[in-house]
A = this chain, B = another copy of it.
């Protein structure tokens, strides 16, 4: 292991910084010691006896997993770009985020990290956004694992601010802004959310009134509720903002103006040279956040800020010199949908990054649980805590889910990339619904898992140095930004119902929803009383049984909610009926996403060319599937899709699969291929039983 020296920062530093550097030095010292592979004989109380199996769980056939081969299959196309990011930060300890850092210092450090990446490491994020989104997401994941604030800061600059210019603007905007955005001269914000309106974007109140005399738009914040809020890059670093506002055009009738709906405008907020806030713009600081304090979120108020007509991002709607509105899209709603549709990349990126966080957390928790020993049979050595059924139950389904989500988000990223090239309308709808659902599902799951990991690692999990705190605090907001999860799942449910309606009107289904045609048929007939009793391992591990069960559930939820919605609409109206069925709709959306994930996972297992890797993937895939079925066993039992004996068999097999996955857990987390530099946590770095004595060294003993 090649370890960087800690060099002193060039800037002035405070006592707190000294302290942080002290902690970093301790970590580095510990890492160096780890790399020496100390002689176990030096620690006589820590006998080197490897991981003993708990005999109580029976002798299982242990899979032989070749990590290198499995890893090769897991790796995406763009592993090189990730290595480039890691190598750069590994070589620059002055750019590594210390354990304790103030909000203001963190913001500055994060900007330095971003500048280093672009100016020194030769990363060209904006180029990747345009040429190869898969590469962009891979790079962003690596940057985020160095410091999640950096990942988000990067996303604000290139995906949100940059992306809005690219996707909502036209050639003139690209020509004018591309270079500046790419090289960080034109730092920018994405000013959509207002204090009063987050999820309900169509309700936002900022206005852009066209002034035909001066050929300008006048941007105004009409009231406190319309202040742009939580705007990343606004508090300190941004020079521009893409501002979402209602476009008002003067008319000659009594109303005086006509509201054309929400449009996006480029508004300069700070002087390019002096960095002073421009006249009419008020910028304030949204303050300290639970996490991501490297990102400078601010609030913006506009008082008659004038911008040239050219600053309207006019891809879906334009205003002519004489104040006439033109658009290729007929209605406000369609324009709004097209505008939001272009912003789907953010969600794709978040789903992808969230899986990265999950992998990291599972890796730390699994490695620690393999090494930490506590209690044991009378007069025998203590056993690894991962040998406890309860610990297996906490971590192994999570490990399986990380694999499942890996393939699902990889698939999404690739489809997104296809969509950007083909602009195929069906694909656009598909990616939109899928990204909404996967982002919501994956980020919720990861957020829950981070808590479980911390708790599963006991007191040591509570030490900041072991990462669970920062991972959780930084990741937490993934559930909210780029679309609140509860709102996104409803979008997916709505899409699903639309597809369902079209099916009955004889239309075709999008590819992702095609399975519904078949399973709806099987759902509409009664569950098979024979197969509902089958309980053999071969049957339960048959992908067809698993997928049928997932899809049956989705079809049933879809069919029944459609009936309920129709019924309630008559008395409660559409909005009321939707709300009355809301929990049902959310469950439907989750169920569909689970079906999708399982389908992709099963396909990935089948396609794996190496037999031992395939067997390992099949094992975690089975655990993913059966654990999900067991978690919702009430539903399956309620309709007798699964008989009592089969329910019991599923439960038993799930526990057994947890045990089997435990036996190959080390190889499975190793195949995530996270470098030590990123794993960082002292409780997870080692590959020997020396962790405790090393941990003592961390504290300076």
Q: Could you say how many copies of this chain the assembly holds?
A: 2
Q: Does A288 contact B (CB under 8 A)?
A: yes
B476 engages A458 (CB within 8 Å): no
For the complex, would chain A's binding face be called helix, strand, loop or mixed by DSSP majority? Answer: helix
- Do the beta carbons of A451 and B454 come within 8 Å of each other? no
Q: Which residues of B contact A378 (CB under 8 A)?
A: 574-575
Taking the closest CB of chain B, its distance from the CB of A659, in whole angstroms, is 10
Across the two chains, which residue of chain B brings its CB closest to A45?
B223
Given A55-B572, A484-B458, A701 contacting B284 (CB threshold 8 A) = yes
Complex-state Cα separation, A287 to B681, whole angstroms: 14
Stretch from A248-256, A461-469, A501-509, A518-526 that touches the partner: A461-469
How would residues 448 to 476 of chain A score, 1 for a CB under 8 Å from any chain B CB and 0 otherwise? 10010011001101111100110011001
Tell me whether A374 and B197 are in contact (CB under 8 A): yes
Q: Which stretch, A128-136, A173-181, A225-233, A356-364, touches the partner chain B?
A: A225-233
Are the CB atoms of B382 and A200 closer together than 8 Å? Answer: yes
Q: How far is the CB of A682 from chain B (nearest CB, A)?
A: 10
Q: Is the CB of A579 within 8 A of B56?
A: yes
**Are A285 and B699 touching (Cβ within 8 A)?**
yes
A288 touches which of B99, B195, B575 (Cβ 8 Å): B99
In the docked arrangement, what's the CA distance between A43 and B390, Å? Answer: 55
Question: Which candidate, A61-69, A529-537, A544-552, A688-696, is the interface stretch facing chain B?
Answer: A688-696
- For A301, the chain B residues whose CB sits under 8 A away are 701
A633 close to B (CB within 8 Å): yes
> What CA separation (Å) do A560 and B291 show in the bound complex?
45
- The contact of A45 among B222, B477, B581, B655, by CB within 8 Å, is B222
A56/B573 in contact, CB under 8 A: yes
Which parts of A5-45 form the interface with B (CB within 8 Å)? Answer: 14-16, 19, 23, 43-45
Chain B residue contacts of A43, Cβ below 8 A: 223-224
Most chain B CB neighbours (cut-off 10 Å) among A55, A382, A579, A698: A579
A330 at the interface (CB under 8 A from B): no
Taking a contact as CB atoms under 8 Å apart, the answer to whether A701 and B375 are in contact is no
Across the interface, A390 reaches (CB within 8 A) one of B205, B459, B582, B639, namely B582
Interfacial chain B residues near A568, Cβ < 8 Å: 56
Cβ-defined contact, B198 with A56, below 8 A: no
Determine the chain B residues whose CB is within 8 A of the CB of A559 once the complex forms.
none
Whether A583 contacts B199 by the Cβ 8 Å rule is no
Interfacial chain B residues near A54, Cβ < 8 Å: 576, 579
Contact A198 B374 (CB under 8 A): yes
Query: In the bound complex, do residue B55 and residue A390 qualify as a contact, i.e. CB atoms below 8 Å apart?
Result: no
How many angstroms from the CA of A699 to the CA of B477 in the assembled complex? 20
Chain B positions within 8 Å of A459 at CB level: 193, 198, 229-230, 477, 480-481
In angstroms, how far is the closest chain B Cβ from the Cβ of A463? 6
Q: Which residues of B contact A336 (CB under 8 A)?
A: none
> Given A579-B56, A647-B638, A458 and B473 touching (CB < 8 A)?
no
Determine if A103 is an interface residue (Cβ-Cβ < 8 Å): yes
Say yes or no: B23 contacts A56, CB within 8 Å. Answer: no
A382 touches B203 (CB 8 A): yes
A552 CA / B203 CA spacing, docked (Å): 51
Check A100 for interface membership: any CB of B closer than 8 A: yes
Q: Is the CB of B104 within 8 A of A19?
A: yes
A485 CB within 8 Å of chain B? yes
In the complex formed, the residue of B with least CB distance to A644 is: B638
Is B46 touching A576 in the complex (CB atoms < 8 A)? Answer: no
Chain B residue nearest to A448 in the complex (CB): B451
A611 located at the interface, meaning its Cβ lies under 8 Å from any Cβ of chain B in the complex? no
- Which residues of chain B are within 8 angstroms of A485 by Cβ–Cβ distance? 455
Tell me the complex Cα distance, A509–B336, Å. Answer: 67
The CA of A479 and the CA of B459, in the complex, are separated in Å by 10
Cα A390 to Cα B56 in complex, Å, equals 43
A221–B215 Cα gap in the complex (Å)?
Answer: 80
A637 to B575: give the CA distance in the assembly, Å.
Answer: 33
**Is A311 an interface residue, CB under 8 A from the partner?**
no
**Can you report 16 residue pairs joining A to B where beta carbons are below 8 Å apart?**
A19-B103, A56-B580, A198-B458, A225-B693, A227-B696, A285-B700, A287-B698, A290-B463, A291-B469, A299-B696, A389-B583, A390-B586, A455-B480, A459-B481, A633-B638, A634-B647
Chain A to chain B: the 8 pairs with minimum beta-carbon distance, closest first: A56-B576, A290-B469, A634-B634, A389-B582, A56-B572, A224-B693, A377-B575, A633-B634
New A-B contacts (8) at CB < 8 Å, excluding given A287-B698, A633-B634, A639-B644: A14-B16, A19-B104, A45-B226, A54-B579, A229-B459, A287-B464, A451-B476, A638-B644
